[in-house]
Amino acid sequence: MDFISGRSHKLRDYVIIWVLLPLLLVMAAFVAARALAFERTLTELLVERQRQIASSAAVGVSEVVQGYARILKALAAHPDLLNNSRNLRSDALESAVQALGEFDLGVAVFDSSGRQTALLAGDAEEASGAIAFGELFSQVRAYEAPVFSQLMFSASSSEPYILVGMPIIDEGGVFRGALIGAARARTSSLANPIRQVKVGEDGFAYLLDGSGKVIYHRDESQIGEDYSDRSFYRQAISDDADAGIMISPNGERLVEADAPIAAAGWILIVQESWDSAAAPARRYNIVSIVLATITVLIIVIIIVQGLRRISLPIHFLDEQTDRLSRGIPMQAFSQTGIRELDDLESSFDEMARQISTYRAGVHRFIKALNQSQESERRRIARDLHDETVQNLLAISRQVEIYQRSETEPQKLERLRELQRVIGETQKGLRRIIRDLRPLILEDLGLIPALQALLRGLREGPQAVPHVHFELEGEPVPLSSEHELAFYRITQEALNNIRKHSGATGAQVKLAFRGDRVVLEIEDNGHGFQVPPSIADFSQYGHFGLMGIQERVWALGGELLIESGSRGTRLCIETPISQE
């Protein structure tokens, strides 16, 4: 809001707010939108791939299932099976033993009433009745079509197996019985098309029966497990989508798809870890984001360098303007290669040259004026000392003579009052003479003169009771002009403290630091509002600080003014000038 409210800001801030920040925000929005779109698209592609793999694998499993049905269908058409003779039916089974190799747990023949009339035992141990062939008979009779059982378990060894039933129908369409085969789940041909399913690095397929039990799984310990309570199974048997993102019992994200084995009522499920499936695409996405980020960084660097090329000359110009306003010599401009900036610098150089010429003339005039003032002050001080003070001394002596000869008390009291007034007048004249011509400065030097000014601050009206002088460094003799300037600056500052600050304490510090000398004057008064330029004081008729500034400029130094509710501080730093 500051940019809208009209406040002044640096060019760099404007470029950051209006160029770089929007660019970075747009880039961040682009990256976020791209990441969301990438995630959504990747999910759709992986789900579709999984759906196609599941459909393809289901075709292979369906072919195996139909192969089971074809074997039994071919055997069910054998004439001997239409006969109720146990021997004929047993012989028919024995003659087809090679074709019935898929049913490694045996094949049983039932008559129309459900009584088992023949058995081809694939495993002697299981033939003892551990295989429940009859469990499927009622369904075969009801549907008179091929029927596949859910996963079942051997009563003797808990071996998981499946049953395949085929009705025996005579030429007249009359149901004459059923042919039911049993095959181990672990070693059946169903495993071949499922094993061949390739799903990424760690994906796989498995087969469930209609009740959710595992018929085949690459982890054999899972065969026979009940998956009916898992979300992907409930979704598979519902009318929802046949593929999607699922959460495993351990919290892992999975890409899963299911395809029905319609002939058997089973479900083939293909699953793959989301992280594994998405890893190649994510690597590509990360590379593209990194490249985009590098591109943006390059653009930002180019903008920053361009901004630097523009802002540095402008900043340098601003510094030189400040130096010019404070009367400090400016540094030379260098060509930037940007026409507008070079033209601006040339115009500024010309303006600065004219101001410097004018200021140099003003400084010469002020210096001459100060010299003239000092000469006039010395003349006035000399005249006051040689004439007025001497006349007052003569009057004082005459009054003393009259006092010695006068005996009347009333007249003596008047003479004493006159003597007191003459004495006060002499003190005032001596103080004026001291201010006009600081003889202590000429006789004893700058440090005693400054100490005398501070002592004088404790006297007279609006006196400041607590004053302190501090000297830092080894004193170096200064030129008479330099000492007089520091004396007049201190004198003006202390007069301002007496008249305007309401201070109870003041301090003057003189510091010699190498080739520089620093004069600091502080008080604990109420302070004032420091304007941007000392020249602004002229609008209010306050020329004291302007005079201080001119004296500092004449010495080639700098003036710093700090003021607030806790007091005011003037700091004058100049190069040391000696006679």
Q: Is the pLDDT of residue 575 over 60?
A: yes
> Which amino acid, residue 96?
A
- The residue out of 258, 276, 294 marking a domain boundary is 276
H/E stretch holding 569: strand 567-575
Q: Is the pLDDT of residue 322 over 80?
A: no
Q: 137 pLDDT band (50/70/90 cuts)?
A: very high
Q: 542 pLDDT band (50/70/90 cuts)?
A: low
Alpha helices in 20-135 (DSSP H): 21-76, 86-95
154, 167 contact by CB (below 8 A): no
How much is the pLDDT for 463? 85
Are 230 and 345 members of one domain?
no
Are 558 and 484 members of one domain?
yes
In a domain, 539, yes or no: yes
H/E stretch holding 169: strand 160-169
Beta bridge partners of 169: 175
Q: 326 pLDDT band (50/70/90 cuts)?
A: low
In a domain, 387, yes or no: yes
Beta bridge partners of 574: 517
Angle, CA 64 vertex, CA 59 and CA 65 arms, to 5°: 95
How far apart, in whole angstroms, are the C-alpha atoms of residue 162 and residue 71? 15
Are 411 and 460 members of one domain?
no
Are 364 and 425 members of one domain?
yes
In a domain, 431, yes or no: yes
Q: What is the domain count for the chain?
A: 3
* Tokens of residue 419, six digits: 């003597």
> Which amino acid, residue 106?
G
Render pLDDT for 98-133 as a digit per residue (tens, 0 to 9): 888 888 888 999 998 989 888 888 764 544 467 888
Of 92-96, 203-207, 536-540, the range with the lowest mean pLDDT is: 536-540
Kindly list the distances between the CA atom of residue 84 and the CA atoms of 69, 94, 278, in Å, as whole numbers in the listed order: 22, 16, 61
Residue in the structure block whose two tokens are 């007025």: 388
Mean pLDDT calculated for residue range 54-66: 90
The 10 Å Cβ neighbour count of residue 58 is 27
User: What percent of the chain is predicted at pLDDT more than 90?
Assistant: 12
Render pLDDT for 4-26 as a digit per residue (tens, 0 to 9): 444 555 666 666 677 667 777 87
How much is the pLDDT for 33? 78
How far apart, in whole angstroms, are the C-alpha atoms of residue 203 and residue 46? 12
Find, among 149, 161, 157, the residue nearest to 223 by Cα. Answer: 161
Render pLDDT for 186-238 as a digit per residue (tens, 0 to 9): 877 888 888 888 887 788 898 999 888 999 988 888 888 888 887 777 776 66
How much is the pLDDT for 355? 74
In a domain, 138, yes or no: yes
How much is the pLDDT for 9? 57
Find, among 440, 555, 554, 534, the residue nearest to 491 by Cα. Answer: 440
How much is the pLDDT for 500? 84
* Tokens of residue 464, six digits: 């400041």
Q: Can you give the CATH number for the domain in which 234 is found?
A: 3.30.450.20
In a domain, 29, yes or no: no
Three-state secondary structure string covering 290-301? HHHHHHHHHHHH
Are 152 and 222 members of one domain?
yes
How far apart, in whole angstroms, are the C-alpha atoms of residue 161 and residue 166? 17
Q: Is the pLDDT of residue 578 over 50?
A: yes
Render pLDDT for 255-308 as a digit per residue (tens, 0 to 9): 888 888 888 889 998 888 878 777 777 777 777 778 877 887 887 788 777 777
Are 504 and 571 members of one domain?
yes
The 10 Å Cβ neighbour count of residue 59 is 13
Are 530 and 472 members of one domain?
yes
Are 262 and 349 members of one domain?
no
How much is the pLDDT for 15? 66
Are 113 and 243 members of one domain?
yes
In a domain, 298, yes or no: no
When computed from its CA atoms, the radius of gyration of the chain, rounded to whole angstroms, is: 57
In a domain, 159, yes or no: yes
Mean pLDDT calculated for residue range 408-413: 81
- The residue out of 386, 415, 437 marking a domain boundary is 437
- The residue out of 406, 437, 468 marking a domain boundary is 437
Sheet holding 253-261, edge to edge: 214-216, 204-208, 266-273, 253-261, 243-247
What is the 8-class DSSP label of residue 330?
P
Q: 163 pLDDT band (50/70/90 cuts)?
A: very high
Mean pLDDT of the residues in the chain: 81
Owning domain of residue 119: 46-276
How much is the pLDDT for 97? 85
Q: 239 pLDDT band (50/70/90 cuts)?
A: low
Burial of 165 (0-12, 13-18, 19+ CB in 10 A): buried
In a domain, 127, yes or no: yes
Mean pLDDT calculated for residue range 529-558: 76
Q: 147 pLDDT band (50/70/90 cuts)?
A: very high
Following DSSP, what letter does each residue of 420-453 receive, concatenated? Answer: HHHHHHHHHHHHHHHHHS-HHHHHH-HHHHHHHH
Are 268 and 139 members of one domain?
yes
Are 223 and 113 members of one domain?
yes
Kindly list the distances between the CA atom of residue 253 and the CA atoms of 177, 207, 272, in Å, as whole numbers in the listed order: 49, 20, 9
N-to-C CA span, the chain = 58
Q: Can you give the CATH number for the domain in which 489 is found?
A: 3.30.565.10
Beta bridge partners of 257: 243, 270
Render pLDDT for 448-463 as a digit per residue (tens, 0 to 9): 888 888 888 888 778 8
Are 171 and 128 members of one domain?
yes
